[in-house]
Amino acid sequence: MLRVLTVALFGALSLTACAQPAAPVASPAAKPTANAAPATNANAEQTVRTALTSLDPKFKPDYVGAAPFPGFREVLVSGQVLYVSDDGRYLMQSQPYDIQNRSPASSAGLLAYRKNLLDKVPRSERIVFAAPNPKHTITVFTDIECGYCRKLHQDLPELNRQGITVEYLAFPRMGPASQDFVDMISVWCAVDKRAALTAAKGGQAVKPKNCTSPVAMQYALGQQVGVSGTPAIFAADGSQLGGYLTPAQLAKALERQAN
């Protein structure tokens, strides 16, 4: 599906021959992302869905809503965010940047959609490193092998000291057929999951263990919300803060996001 969209994006000038011109795109600095005005075209969502179906009749986006800037719909499909003009003519795959808020632009609708998906994962299925005096909670899709995941884990004492609770979800980036996937099941099945995760991230051999684990479900969820690498850090409102950030950078991003 995404291959078809990529071909369409770079190989064609438009999706449809609609006569209505696309509304001009305002500068990202003109208005904060969260307050972007909704599209005036009440039929924009259906127009966009029809245009995308013209690329592939089987196209079924997970989410379609107002983009964080006028004249476009924000579309989520297989975890990838696309932007399609309200008249169904133009498609973009690049992530827009909000100059005023100094962060990737996302609409309130998309954030709510992601938040809803993430909130469905019960705390009992996460591996939680709670701050004694929590100010913020982040959800981190993690892998036991990636270097930056291990670096972030080493930062846990400082993150907790700054009031940041870290809740891990499993995302073995090498996929279900990998040893990494099997090892992460063992970690999530351990009696002491926190200790098992810390040992695995420290390079220790993972003791094989099996159970009915949430690893496969969390891996699928990561793909659904757009995780393409680890660590992938999400704030409580569903916004993705990025990959690895130092404790100072992460604290600053969370404070900015909360205001």
Can 189 be counted among the known catalytic residues? no
- In the set 86, 89, 146, 155, the catalytic residue is 146
- In the set 86, 87, 143, 155, the catalytic residue is 143
Torsional sign, CA 41, 43, 48, 54: negative
| Burial of 194 per CB tally in 10 Å (0-12, 13-18, 19+) | middle
Count other Cβ atoms within 10 Å, centred on residue 200: 23
Can 18 be counted among the known catalytic residues? no
Count other Cβ atoms within 10 Å, centred on residue 122: 8
Q: Do the Cβ atoms of 231 and 149 come closer than 8 Å?
A: yes
Can 146 be counted among the known catalytic residues? yes
- In the set 87, 155, 173, 183, the catalytic residue is 173
- In the set 89, 98, 149, 155, the catalytic residue is 149
SS3 55: helix
CA max distance for the chain: 63
Please list the active-site residues.
143, 146, 149, 173
